[in-house]
Structure 1
Amino acid sequence: MSTTQSERLRELLEPLVTSEGLDLEEIAVDSVGRKRVLRVVVESDAGADLDAIADVSRALSAKLDETDAMGEGEYTLEVGTPGAERLLTQHRHYVRAVGRLVRFQLAEGGELVARIVAVDDEGLDLEVPGVKGRKATARRVAFPDVDRARVQVEFNRKDKKDMKEEEEA
């Protein structure tokens, strides 16, 4: 997708997404055979449930039908959320990932897997899990020290209630 088309689509669609209480995270147009697919990724601090996704999908579809932003050919509109192993690229992504286990690629080299405990304007407070019976340790990482960060899937994930109970104990 050309930058111009991407920018036009963002300008057209972002106000609609925002009016539904969601953030527009990503727009991508991909060719699948002869058809094109417009993928729109949305999210919010509270998460985007199926009703919110359906509402924004209908609003985006109606707006796209009114304009020539997608050109003359057929296309399919897909609206969804970032997924379980999302890449963290903006401050709000880190805030939404508090309590989640994240794999960090550090600017100095090396990798770190830790749980985000808190986020401020300068960086992250992390809990690095203990290994072989050792206790978890606290670590502070500044945003400039992070090259990449991706949420990890956890099958036995602590929820926020469990974390609060541990803090109070």
Structure 2
Amino acid sequence: MKLDERIADLARPAAEAAGLIVDSVTVSAAGKNTKVLVTVDLPEDAVGSVDLDTVATASRAIGDALDAANVPAGAYLLEVSTPGTDRPLTLRRHFMRARTRLVDLEMVEGSAQTGRIVDVTGDALVLDIDGETKTVALDDVKLGRVQVEMKRLD
């Protein structure tokens, strides 16, 4: 089993205890040490953001789990973070987490769409585009990006 997969397996229960999921694990060299980046997020059915206290709780629990298993062997630097708003939306779960957000979509055939994700049903996005509802198949979307809104309607 690869090191990143082993770390993900160890981190998953610790993250879930804090109400989070493990989104990804990246392992890289950091001088003589190993850097472990664990990206956590809320479950896909949740709307909103992860607060700093929850990330801190997950970080301590993930660190304890890695230490207890001695994985990775030797000194390591653990960083636990959230995906952030600049994460490209490529998977269904990414779009689920972006519900209520304004997104720019790059379509497979080359065009672009901008709309607010109202819902994700089956394999389609339900968007509000200038007050009109439009359904877009996920297979037709190459990539999405959340637009950062300084003043947002709740």
TM-score normalised by structure 1 residue count:
0.79
Greater C-alpha radius of gyration: 1
Q: Secondary structure at the match of 2:110?
A: coil
SS at match of 2:3: helix
1:143 to 133, 138, 143: 138
Q: Percent identity?
A: 37
1:60 aligns with 2:55: no
* TM-score normalised by structure 2 residue count: 0.86
8 Å contact kept, 2:92–2:138:
no
Aligned CA-pair RMSD? 1.9
2:139 corresponds to which letter in structure 1?
P
**Alpha-carbon distance in structure 1 between the residues aligned to 2:143 and 2:30:** 29
Matched AA of 1:147 = K
Q: Give secondary structure in 1 for the equivalent of 2:19.
A: coil
CA deviation digits over 1:15-55, x for unaligned, max 9? 22112211111111122334332111111125321221111
CA distance in 2, matches of 1:154, 1:19: 31
Look up the match of 2:101: 100
CA contact (8 A) 1:117 1:125 kept: yes
1:38 — aligned with what?
A: 36
SS at match of 2:37: strand
Aligned counterpart, 2:112: 111
Tell whether the 8 Å contact from 1:85 to 1:151 is kept in structure 2 after alignment.
yes
Distance 1:113 1:32 in 2: 39
Hey, what's the Cα distance between the residues in 2 that align with 1:65 and 1:118?
40
Q: Is the 8 A contact 1:41 1:81 kept in 2?
A: yes
Task: Give the unaligned 5+ runs of structure 1.
Answer: 130-135, 160-169
Counterpart Cα distance in 2 of 1:156 and 1:20? 29
The residue type equivalent to 1:19 in the other structure is A
Which structure is higher in RCO with an 8 Å CA cutoff and minimum separation 6?
Answer: 2
The alpha carbon displacement at 1:61 in A equals 0.9
